[in-house]
């Protein structure tokens, strides 16, 4: 048994300097880069509401949340760098469509209720997916996930609190919340990835303890957790097949439109082109900052030498 296999079998962590199979390294870079890209692109749908938040308090919360997402992205790019990846190269791959980011961020945010629903449902799904990743076998990724999950938990609560407030408001506000829930529920279920029998990476990632649960297991856990929360809020989830199954001890639910997920992942979702174009412009606009930071670092090196 190699040192790598032994470390995995003992449920211990692989660290950056350790020997690892090329496939493990490339799988980790793929997942961490996609995760980082999702955090950075994920700033856009909600960021659009910062200038239109209905109060100073809501604006301050939203600003803090969007800044957290930037922090998560930077953290994760650093984790990818420990595996030998180059941040600039990862960004280029994203912009050129050679690396993915979460399907969920390709849907539009039509009203301020979407901000609440993204917090409740999207960040709720992110937590459900990412808490087990705190025990992921690659050390820097697992450790990054601990802080990220704590911040995601704040994001989820602010969303739920915002929706509770709106549900206590006018009939128009309640209708706005229900409409947002109707639009975001199914895309949130798709965040967990394709069904297990169509998930090419799962078996290997689970054997390497990168993933701790399958896509379908986590999706079920998310449905079970969300139904009582929807009841507490007073909204309905848009699924006629959703009902408690006492034999299974879980909620049964309908089948997401997997063709839609495939379309959105392959670049043909409602906002894919706009998201990437904005990311490309931000990268170009930030070039001078990166050049200035590099020049400053070179100057400091000379002073120290
Ligand atoms: N959106 C975009 N791409 C997806 C999605 C999705 N919702 N689900 C699966 N895919 C992609 C996979 O990345 C994979 O593509 P690739 O082989 O070209 O990389 C392909 O579809 C097949 O899926 P799986 O074999 O199931 O892939 P994997 O084992 O990597 O599981 C999952 C997918 C569950 C998303 C996993 O990568 C993961 O847990 N990632 C970390 C969490 C994350 O990235 N969250 C981002 C959104 S949360 C947030 O930022 C708030």
Q: Interface pTM (ipTM) of the complex?
A: 0.98
- Which residue puts its alpha carbon closest to atom 5 of ligand 1? 193
**Gap between the Cα atoms of 159 and 229, Å rounded:** 12
Q: What is the pLDDT of residue 1?
A: 83
- Which residue puts its alpha carbon closest to atom 13 of ligand 1? 100
DSSP character at residue 135: G
State the pTM of this model: 0.96
Pocket probe for ligand 1: among 34, 42, 134, the residue whose CB has the most ligand atoms within 8 Å is 34
> For residue 201, which atom of ligand 1 is closest to its CA?
25
Q: What is the pLDDT of residues 234-243, one digit of tens each?
A: 999 999 999 9
Alpha helices in the chain (DSSP H): 3-9, 22-41, 43-47, 56-81, 87-95, 113-117, 123-130, 139-167, 171-190, 202-207, 215-233, 258-265, 272-285, 287-304
46 Cβ closer than 6 Å to some ligand 1 atom = no
Q: What is the pLDDT of residue 303?
A: 85
**Is 8 within 8 Å of 14 (Cβ atoms)?**
yes
Within 8 A by CB and 6+ apart from 55, the residues are none
- Using DSSP's 3-state secondary structure scheme, residue 15 falls into coil
Q: What is the pLDDT of residue 157?
A: 96
The stretches in the chain having pLDDT less than 50 are none
> Which residue from 271, 23, 268, 57 is spatially nearest to 161, judged by alpha carbons?
57
């Amino acid at each position: 048994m190699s040192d790598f296999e032994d470390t995995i079998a003992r449920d211990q962590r692989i660290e950056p300097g350790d020997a690892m199979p090329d496939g493990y390294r490339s799988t980790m870079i793929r997942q961490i880069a996609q995760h980082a890209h999702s955090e950075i692109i994920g700033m856009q749908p909600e960021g659009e509401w910062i200038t239109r938040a209905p109060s100073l308090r809501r604006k301050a919360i939203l600003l803090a949340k969007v800044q957290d997402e930037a922090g998560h992205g930077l953290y994760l790019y650093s984790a990818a760098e420990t595996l030998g990846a180059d941040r600039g190269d990862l960004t280029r791959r994203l912009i050129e469509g050679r690396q993915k980011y979460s399907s969920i961020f390709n849907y539009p945010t039509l009203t301020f209720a979407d901000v609440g629903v993204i917090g409740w449902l999207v960040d709720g799904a992110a937590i459900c997916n990412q808490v087990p990743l705190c025990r992921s076998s690659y050390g820097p990724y697992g450790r990054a996930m601990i802080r990220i999950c704590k911040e995601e938990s704040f994001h989820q609560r602010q969303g739920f609190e915002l929706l509770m407030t709106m549900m206590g408001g006018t009939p128009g506000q309640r209708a706005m919340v229900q409409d947002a829930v109707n639009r975001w529920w199914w895309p949130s279920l798709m965040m967990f990835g394709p069904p297990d029998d169509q998930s090419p990476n799962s078996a290997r990632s689970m054997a390497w303890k990168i993933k701790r649960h399958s896509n379908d297991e986590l999706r079920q856990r998310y449905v079970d957790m969300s139904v009582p929360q929807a009841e507490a809020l007073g909204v309905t989830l848009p699924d006629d097949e959703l009902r408690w199954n006492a034999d299974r001890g879980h909620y049964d639910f309908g089948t997401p439109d997997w063709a839609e997920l495939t379309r959105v992942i392959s670049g043909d979702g409602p906002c894919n082109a706009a998201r990437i174009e904005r990311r490309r412009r931000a990268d170009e606009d930030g070039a001078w900052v990166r050049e200035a930071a590099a020049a400053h670092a070179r100057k400091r090196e000379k002073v120290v030498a």
